[in-house]
Each structure stands twice: as structure tokens, then as C-alpha cells.
Structure 1
Amino acid sequence: MGAYLLDWLSLFFRWFHVIAGVAWIGASFYFVWLDMSLQKPPEWKAKKGISGDLWAVHGGGFYEIAKYKLEPEEMPKTLHWFKWEAYTTWLTGMAMLIIVYYINATAYLIDPSKVNFGSSVGAISTSLLFLFGSYFIYEVIVRSNVGKNKLAFSITIFVLMIIATWGSYQLFSDRASFIHVGAILGTIMAGNVFFGIMPAQRALVDCVRRGVKPGPEVADLALMARNRSLMNNYFTLPLIFIMISNHYPMMYSHAHGWLVLVFVGIITATARHYFNQKHLGHHQPKFLVIPAIATILLIIWMRPAPIEPLPVPPIKTPAVAQAASADDAMMEVVHARCSTCHAAKPTQQGFASPPLGIILQTPEDMKIHKAKIITAVHTGYMPLGNITQLTDEERQQLVAYASGL
């Protein structure tokens, strides 16, 4: 019953997380487009303090949008703020981290072949330290002089994210490694809103309401907020990729998974740069061509090595008996190493139902799912965290057996 209720919690928070993420990133994309698409206003609008405007049509009506250089002629009674999308996305993301990776740490968080934490508590503590330690380093940098220089700030964060990506692969399971990098990006983005963007907006609104001209302090806050907003803008596409990556073991279970994620980050951020430039009226196709070529090269580089089945020693028995003997021997391995999770009623703690609905209890089941079995076992993705202690010899035998079905 506990695993069943946990699945419902996971479903609810995953659904909530996706909804909040769509709202947040959608708003981010819209305002980036809006800021970069504003045109010089006519003279009569400029005299009112409007720095840019644009017209749009949507939902059967026309919209006139204007951005003031500083304050409007009259402070509106209702002012809409965009913050809860970010906070809700982060909170539901943390809930997912707890439900999926912390409650069932032995299956999803820990890989004994990398680090033997000794207990789930040690692994969870390391995870939290890694996540919030990374954010603390970011916050120190963004508040330093480096944070005031757009280029230096971007390069520094890029290098540190590469280090964090590599570090996560040394500590956690492959799947958890991707998610931890996503959690760092998400925490930075939400932190940028909470600690940078919102304080700058509040300071500006406060000055306008008091009728005071913003001073150097407000200007510094605004500069920091712009750099934080820029970082959020370039983080969006890599973060979306990580959110869906747990459905594609070929990415995170690659022998150099951390490097795969670095390349994906570069590809997606470069594509984001193309659209930023396009909104400014600078059509530069090279920023789409380069990611396209890089993606093709990544696909070629990641292609799996051909599987060479192990030679099966001859058995001096009739062919039918020989086949039955091979099936029985392999099904003993499957039942011991795979069926604890992949059964109609899993016996492995934390699983209420077989992952992805895949049941592996008979040779017929193996034949139905052989393509997935070969990929998952050959890459080392399965068993999760090698929780059932599948040996290298058994792994090779399983791949060879499935290949021959």
C-alpha cells in the first residue's frame, strides 16, 4: 500500500510540476520576446515616458502594449507580479526529488559502483549539500564584481556548471546525476527570481510610489537583476531537456553521460541565443546551423557499440532439451536480478507496479521486450543502481540470450 500511495504522490507532484513549469517558462519566453520586440514609440507616447511599444492580435482582439522608461503617469491600483510560477515550479520539483530519489534512494539515487554511502541518509545528505552548496557558490559569484560583468559572469557560470555536471556523475547514479544538474539549474533560476529580480522590482516600485528618483542602489539592483534574468533565459532549454531526460536512458547511461549533458547544454543554449538575436532583429542562421551540426555529431559519437554475443558452449543433449536448459538457466538469472521489480506484483521495496509496465517472468516476456532489455542491460542502466547485484558475466549472458531470441 505504501508504494501504491507513493506512486499517486509522484503522479500528482509531477503533474503539478509540469503545469507550473509551463507557466513559468512560458511567461519567461513571452517577456523576453516582448522586451526584445518593442519598437520606438511615436513622439506623443515618448513624451508620456514610454520607451517602447508594440501592437499584437490574439483571441479575436487587438492589444496595445507599452513599456515605460521609469514610472507611469499614474501608479496603477492593481500591479501584476510574476513570481509564483517560479516558486511553485521549484517547490514541486523539490517534492519530486524527495518522492522519487530520496524515499527510494537505494534504487534511484545510489550507485554502489561509484560511491558506497553506507546508508540512504548519507546519500541524501550528500545530495542536499551538493545542491545547496552549488547554489551558494553561484550566489557568491553573482553578488561579486564578476556578477556585474555580463561576459565574465556567463563564462564563469558555464565553467562551474561543467564542473558540477562532472561532479554529479562521480557521486550519484547516472539518472540521478542528470536530475541533480537540473535541480541546480532550477534552484538558481528560482533563486534569481527570489533574491535578485523581485527585490529590484520592489525597489523600483517603492521609489515610484514615493515619488523619489531611483538612486545608485536601485541601479545596481537593476543591473544584477538583468544579469540574473539573462542567466534564467539561457538555462530554460537545458532545464526542459533534463526534465524529460529520465525517459531516455541512452543519454544518461552513456559511458560519458556527464559530457553528453554538457554538449546538450551548449547546443540548447546556442539555439536559445538564435531566438534572442532574432527578437532583436538580427537574423543569424549560424546559431541554428551550429547546434544542428553539433546534434548530428553527438548522435554519431553516442552510437552504441555493436553487441557481440558470447559463444555458447555445446551441450551434449537433444536440441529441444538444450534449448529448455538454456531457457531455465537464464530465467533463474532473470527471476533473481530482474523480476523483483519487473513482475506483476513486484517484491522490491518501493515498487507498486512494474516499471513502464514491463513484466519479465517468462522467455516469452523476454522476447517481447528484447530490444529494451538489450539496451538497458548492455548500457548498465538496469538494474537501477544495480540494486540486485547483477554480475558482469550475468549481464553479458543476458544480452547474448536476448539477442538470440
Structure 2
Amino acid sequence: MWGSILTEWASLILRWLHVVAAIGWIGSSFYFIHLDLSLKPHGELPEGAAGEAWQVHGGGFYRIMKYLVAPAKMPDELTWFKWEAYTTWLSGFALMVVVYYLDAELFLVDKANIDLTPLQAGLFSFGSLALAWLLYEGACRTGLAKHELPFAFGGYLFLVGLTYAFTHVLSGRGAFNQIGAIVGTIMVANVFAVIIPNQKKIVAALLAGQAPDPELGKASKLRSVHNNYLTLPVIVLMISNHYPLLFATRYNWLIVAIVLALGPIIRHFFNERHAGRKSPWWVWGAAAAGMVAIALLSAAGPRGAKASALAAPATYANVEEIVLSRCSMCHGAEPVWATIVTAPRGILLDDAEHIRRNARLIGRNAAWSSAMPPGNVTEMTGEERTQIAAWLAAGAP
């Protein structure tokens, strides 16, 4: 019991830290992108300055200038923005271990895809995380990233291909988390392996009285732009585990493909506005169409569930038997699953009153999607999911 309680508390603390750190990182990233694009040059700037911006906040006025490479003299104090990114990744990976690796049977493995052991699933997850980053890093260092549109399109196809593979190896929840973790790892690695080291080289050159290499700043800026366009998709992927109609439906991989496309084009709208250029209002039409497409795809139901598979009309007695045999092991007054102390979210499904009260939740998680049972550990069949869906369609009599 104590192991489960400690795991639950670790999950809470790590999730809290992860969210707070991510807010700090994403907020500062968005601010600096806005600042970079809105800087305007004029004749009064110091030598080497590319532009300035006047801003007002909290009752004060701020005059901000940017140097393309570095100022002629090293300032006495310099603020570094890096620990927000590092803390986001470290807390996120620790949370991934606690939630997905230690409870792999529930959240990472789906026996309907491949019957992996928890160790095999964990190794597959970590290995693909490292390999994906190495492939991205290799592509950038060979100069492919300088060709912006082909690189962006190739990267998009790469991520969509990975998502399709993950949804056919891992659980839907695990697949969404995995592709989000890969994108997040790429973003943090950009900070850790390129942006901060290059800034340190620039500082070292200034302290030595040398002119910094301008290519260092250009390389850092390129990785910063990559991070900017990846931010919105990774946020959706990281919160998707709360929405079973996204990760546990038939076309979940296609939903990710749409999210990976919508995020960058929405960022494009704001980047263009920050730069003072003509606002691309077509973005919102494309975003609306993408959202409608996601809604339609999420209504397709889980894989393997077909209305024609029903041999007889669905009755409450059949649904009750399915729920009691497939769900009550966790959603009972005294759960029998080793790592679960109390019914998840306090939802009980161990008698007729509780089943009727939570009918729509049952439908959302076990009929219209395959989110429950997690990892399909109790092996609910497609016909059983169809029976629940038919019972709900009839008004849950």
C-alpha cells in the first residue's frame, strides 16, 4: 500500500514542478520571440545593436535593445535563461518513469497491439527517445536545417511516421506521451547542446577581447525558431492523456498529424503580427477546419468495434456484466489491482446505481474510445465495447 501512496505523491509533486517549469520556459520563449521580431532599428542605437523596443508593464517603461552578435564590452551582470528548460525536461522524464515505466502494464502497453513486458516497453520508449533526437541532431549538423521548408516538411513526415508506429506498438495514451516526449527532448536538447554552449563561446570570446563568431548566433537562432514552432503541438500532446477521444480512438495517429500541422501555422500567425507584417488571417480558417477534422476523427470509435458485430440487442444486464467483469477490479470500493489503492478519480462501478450514474463516463472511456481498461489489462473485446455504445445510444435503459 505504501508503495502506491508514495508513487501517487511523487506523481503529484513531479507534475506540479513540470507544469510550473514549463510555464516559465514557454512564457520566456514566447516573449523573446515576440521581442526579437518587434525590435526596430533607428539612428540612435549603439554600435552593433540591431534594434530596440519600448514596452510598458507593471507601471514602468522598459527600453530593450538587441545586439546581433554581442556588445563590444561584456556587461557586469548577465541573466541566463536555461534552467526553466532543464527543469521542464528533468521533471517530465521523472514523471514519465513514475507514471509510464513503473505502471507500464496500465499506461504504456496495449496487448491488443503487441504483448510487451514492462521492461521491453520501457526500453523501447527510452531507445526511441534517444534515437529520434540523434536523427534530428544529425540532420541539423549536416546542414539540412538551412533549407527551411524541405527540412520542416521532412521533419513533419518523420514525426507523423513515428506516431503511426507508436500507436501500433504502444497504448494510445503511451503513444501520445511518447511523441510528445520526443518533441520535448528535441527542444530541450536544442537549448542544452547548441544554444547555451554557443552563448558561452560568445561570452568567452568577449572576455578574451576577441570578436565572436557570428555563425554561433545564427545557429542558436535557428534552433530557437525550431523550438518556437514545436511548442504548441507539444503542449497538446502533453495534456492529451486527459482526453480519451483523442488518444484512444481509431484514427489517433491522424489526430496527432493534424495537431503537428496546426501548431506551427498558429505560431506563424503570431510571429507575422509580432514582426509588423500583414496578418495571415487564413490561419484561423485552417485551424477551424483542422479542429472539425479532429472532432470527426475522434467520433470514429476505437479500433475493432463495429455495430454489425452485435449478435443481439444490448441490454442493461449485458452491460452490467461487462462492467463488473472488466472495470470493477479498479473501480470498486476495494480495488484488487496491486498499484491502485482507491478507485481512480473516486469513480465506483461496482453496482447498478454507480454504473447508471457514470454511464456517460463509461461510454467516453470504454465504448467511444478504448482508454479503459488501461492497457486493456482485462481484455475487453470490441463486441463488448459495441454493446456498451449501443446501450448508451438507446438512452441507457
TM-score (norm 2): 0.92
8 Å contact from structure 1 (residues 199, 221) kept in 2? no
User: Equivalent residue for 2:91?
Assistant: 92
User: Equivalent residue for 1:318?
Assistant: none
State the Cα deviation string for residues 267-321 of structure 1 (Å, max 9, x = none): 121111111111111222112222122222332344346996957579xxxxxxx
Amino acid in structure 1 at the alignment position of 2:132: S
Matches within 5 A, 1:166-181: 166-181=164-179
Uncovered stretches (5+) of structure 1, i.e. residues with no partner: 315-322
Cα distance change of structure 1 residues 91 and 345 upon mapping to structure 2, 3 Å threshold: same
Distance in 2 between residues matched to 1:156 and 1:291, nearest whole Å: 21
User: Equivalent residue for 2:45?
Assistant: 45
8 Å contact from structure 2 (residues 335, 343) kept in 1? yes
Amino acid in structure 2 at the alignment position of 1:220: E
State the Cα deviation string for residues 18-63 of structure 1 (Å, max 9, x = none): 000000000100000000010113x2324x4322111111111111
What is the Cα deviation at residue 333 of structure 1?
Answer: 3.4
User: Equivalent residue for 1:317?
Assistant: none
Distance in 2 between residues matched to 1:186 and 1:210, nearest whole Å: 35
Matches within 5 A, 1:6-405: 6-41=7-42, 43-46=43-46, 48-117=47-116, 119-214=117-212, 218-282=213-277, 283-304=279-300, 310=310, 327=317, 330-378=319-367, 379-402=369-392, 403-405=395-397
State the Cα deviation string for residues 354-398 of structure 1 (Å, max 9, x = none): 222211011111111101112222222211111012233433344
Name whichever of 125-134 and 305-314 sits farther off: 305-314
8 Å contact from structure 1 (residues 340, 348) kept in 2? yes
What is the Cα deviation at residue 400 of structure 1?
Answer: 4.0
Distance in 2 between residues matched to 1:392 and 1:265, nearest whole Å: 29
Amino acid in structure 1 at the alignment position of 2:29: S
Uncovered stretches (5+) of structure 2, i.e. residues with no partner: none
Cα distance change of structure 1 residues 70 and 332 upon mapping to structure 2, 3 Å threshold: closer
Amino acid in structure 2 at the alignment position of 1:300: L
Cα distance change of structure 1 residues 358 and 34 upon mapping to structure 2, 3 Å threshold: same
8 Å contact from structure 2 (residues 101, 108) kept in 1? yes
Larger radius of gyration: 1
The root-mean-square deviation of aligned C-alpha atoms, in Å, is: 2.2
Cα distance change of structure 1 residues 312 and 155 upon mapping to structure 2, 3 Å threshold: closer
Distance in 2 between residues matched to 1:184 and 1:57, nearest whole Å: 37
User: Equivalent residue for 1:319?
Assistant: none
Distance in 2 between residues matched to 1:59 and 1:25, nearest whole Å: 21
- Could you say what secondary structure the match of 1:45 adopts? coil
8 Å contact from structure 1 (residues 373, 399) kept in 2? no
- Could you say what secondary structure the match of 1:246 adopts? helix
TM-score (norm 1): 0.90
Distance in 2 between residues matched to 1:44 and 1:219, nearest whole Å: 23
State the Cα deviation string for residues 329-368 of structure 1 (Å, max 9, x = none): 6544323210111113321122222222211011111111
Distance in 1 between residues matched to 2:294 and 2:366, nearest whole Å: 22
- Could you say what secondary structure the match of 1:57 adopts? strand
Distance in 2 between residues matched to 1:29 and 1:255, nearest whole Å: 34
What is the Cα deviation at residue 156 of structure 1?
Answer: 2.2
8 Å contact from structure 1 (residues 148, 224) kept in 2? no
8 Å contact from structure 2 (residues 164, 253) kept in 1? yes
Amino acid in structure 1 at the alignment position of 2:162: A
Distance in 1 between residues matched to 2:336 and 2:137, nearest whole Å: 44
Name whichever of 184-193 and 260-269 sits farther off: 260-269
Cα distance change of structure 1 residues 312 and 364 upon mapping to structure 2, 3 Å threshold: farther
- Could you say what secondary structure the match of 1:177 adopts? helix
